[in-house]
């Protein structure tokens, strides 16, 4: 990042000797400030910064890491910096790696959004930043200069100020006290701006165990970012996945956890003779308990299939769809032949995009109308989706599942109809392909009776014309 103006801010809370050491190192290279949030909140202490006489040390009340981050963002804009370097004072780095850091920041490519250093093997954050599954020496000798990814770890990282200008209006001391999630938000904005987020394989620093901020407080700060996704204009990929099972399904839970990684909350409900819980009751409980507004309600006998061999990021699809289609509350896959024309009449061929299989009888039925495009993030406006897989936005639906329905059929159509007639937009997506275990032992007389009940309940609105 040649000829760029870099501001360095050293965050300090009780590590003043380290902070001053960092200041003396950095101020010959860049405009540098110590931002201390300890001294003023501990007036009886003998902290060395109380006696430091210089305008490059700023003492704040105890505003914690989030407050210091916000203040550093403001300072970077005020002085017209192009790049902000944040260093926690408890970070340790040897002279060789510090020199590498300085040289690297002098020559970063223009398209860098967020820059992070690698962690030494003894750091508390190893695995989040820095080499993973390999030794440091391997990366130093053979690795590329940068690798993409990272978490926006706040202990030593650099930020393009163009990104800061986008995020700063959405931050506050009350909602971002500890700073959790700010790094991830910066990285999402960086990706939107088509900038690169990189970890430096040639610069290593040690970071000891963190402050131990309360996990619940951190969690709620993350949720605040999820709920601001529309306001900020970027998805944060937090999802609650809920499913029902006759008994604990560890295999399926592991499968979902692997697909949606660290941004998923999984809720399993057991529906059997012992719990007396119906699927409608279970789904309503999942909606109530969901931490995130984007919720996937799915059956535990489905699996996700690659579209034309393309491995799509499932955890990204529905937050992005709900961000793109801000007025949609339900998105899923079209139901199949169960929907006769006395229920819905469409002027287009519905996009089913799922397969039904009976592994024991080696049977497979495909419902793959249209072209299977890889990661086709789009929806067709409709009225009804299939209950084996439906995505909802908790804050946009108007009705929950009708708990008077004790069966396993028509609960999904009734849920959609209840929301549809109350103005909730419903869409069908081609972004996923699902394989569903076939049930060839359905009682079709029961299905016929349930359909009659459904039609009678919604007769004033049927048939739906799409």
Mean pLDDT for the stretch of residues 393-401: 95
pLDDT (tens digit per residue) in 371-381? 545 455 678 89
Mean pLDDT: which of 23-37, 128-142, 351-365 is highest? 23-37
Mean pLDDT of the chain: 85
Higher pLDDT, 447 or 363: 447
Domain ranges of the chain: 6-232, 240-465
- pLDDT score of 155 more than 60: yes
pLDDT-derived band at 53 (thresholds 50, 70, 90) equals confident
pLDDT (tens digit per residue) in 203-243? 889 888 765 566 678 888 888 888 888 889 888 888 999 99
Provide the pLDDT for residue 447. 76
- pLDDT score of 367 more than 60: no
- pLDDT score of 269 more than 80: yes
* Range in 91-95, 146-150, 201-205 with the lowest mean pLDDT: 146-150
* Range in 215-219, 245-249, 412-416 with the lowest mean pLDDT: 215-219
Task: Give the residue from 144, 158, 236 showing the smallest Cα distance to 197.
Answer: 158
Q: Domain 6-232 carries which CATH code?
A: 3.90.550.10
Provide the pLDDT for residue 132. 47
pLDDT (tens digit per residue) in 274-290? 999 999 999 999 999 99
Strand partners, 32: 8
Mean pLDDT for the stretch of residues 309-319: 69
CB of 191 within 8 A of CB of 163?
Answer: no
- pLDDT score of 365 more than 90: no
Q: Which fold does the domain 240-465 belong to in CATH?
A: Spore Coat Polysaccharide Biosynthesis Protein SpsA; Chain A (3.90.550)
Provide the pLDDT for residue 67. 95
* Range in 12-21, 90-99, 124-133, 435-444 with the lowest mean pLDDT: 124-133
| Domain 6-232 identical in fold to domain 240-465 | yes
Higher pLDDT, 108 or 396: 396
């Amino acid at each position: 990042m040649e000829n760029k103006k870099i501001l360095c801010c050293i965050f300090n809370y009780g590590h003043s000797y380290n902070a001053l050491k960092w200041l003396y190192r950095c101020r010959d290279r860049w405009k540098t400030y110590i931002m201390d949030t300890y001294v003023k909140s501990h007036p009886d202490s003998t902290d060395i910064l109380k006696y430091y006489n210089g305008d490059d040390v700023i003492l704040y009340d105890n505003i914690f890491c989030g407050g210091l981050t916000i203040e550093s963002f403001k300072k970077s804009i005020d002085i017209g910096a192009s790049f902000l370097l944040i260093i926690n004072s408890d970070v340790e780095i040897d002279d060789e790696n510090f020199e590498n850091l300085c040289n690297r920041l002098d020559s970063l490519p223009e398209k860098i959004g967020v820059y992070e250093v690698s962690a030494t093997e003894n750091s508390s954050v190893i695995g989040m930043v820095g080499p993973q599954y390999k030794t440091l020496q391997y990366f130093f000798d053979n690795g590329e200069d940068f690798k993409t990814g990272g978490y926006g770890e706040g202990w030593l990282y650099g930020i393009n100020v163009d990104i800061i200008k986008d995020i700063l209006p959405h931050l506050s001391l009350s909602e971002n006290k500890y700073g959790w999630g700010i790094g991830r938000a910066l990285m999402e904005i960086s990706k939107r701006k088509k900038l690169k987020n990189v970890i430096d394989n040639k610069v290593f620093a040690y970071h000891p165990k963190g402050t131990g901020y309360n996990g619940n407080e951190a969690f709620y700060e993350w949720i605040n970012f999820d709920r601001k996704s529309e306001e900020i204009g970027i998805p944060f990929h937090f999802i609650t996945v809920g499913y029902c099972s006759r008994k604990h399904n560890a295999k399926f839970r592991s499968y979902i956890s692997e697909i949606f990684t660290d941004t998923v909350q999984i809720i399993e409900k057991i529906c059997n003779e012992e719990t007396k819980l119906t699927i409608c009751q279970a789904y309503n409980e999942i909606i109530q308990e969901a931490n995130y507004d984007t919720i996937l309600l799915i059956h535990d006998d489905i699996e996700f299939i690659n579209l034309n061999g393309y491995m799509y990021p499932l955890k990204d699809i529905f937050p992005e769809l709900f961000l793109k289609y801000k007025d949609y509350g339900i998105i899923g896959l079209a139901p199949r032949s169960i929907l006769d024309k006395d229920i819905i009449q469409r002027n287009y061929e519905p996009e089913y995009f799922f397969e039904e299989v009976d592994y024991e009888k080696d049977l497979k039925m495909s419902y793959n109308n249209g072209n299977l495009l890889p990661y086709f993030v789009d929806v067709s406006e409709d009225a009804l989706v299939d209950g084996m897989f439906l995505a909802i936005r908790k804050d946009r639906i108007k009705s929950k599942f009708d708990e008077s329905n004790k069966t396993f059929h028509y609960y999904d159509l009734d849920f959609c109809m209840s929301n549809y007639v109350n103005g909730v937009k419903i869409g069908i997506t081609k972004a996923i392909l699902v394989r569903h275990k076939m049930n060839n032992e359905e009682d079709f007389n029961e299905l016929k009776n349930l359909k009659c009940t459904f039609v009678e309940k919604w007769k004033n609105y049927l048939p739906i014309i799409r």
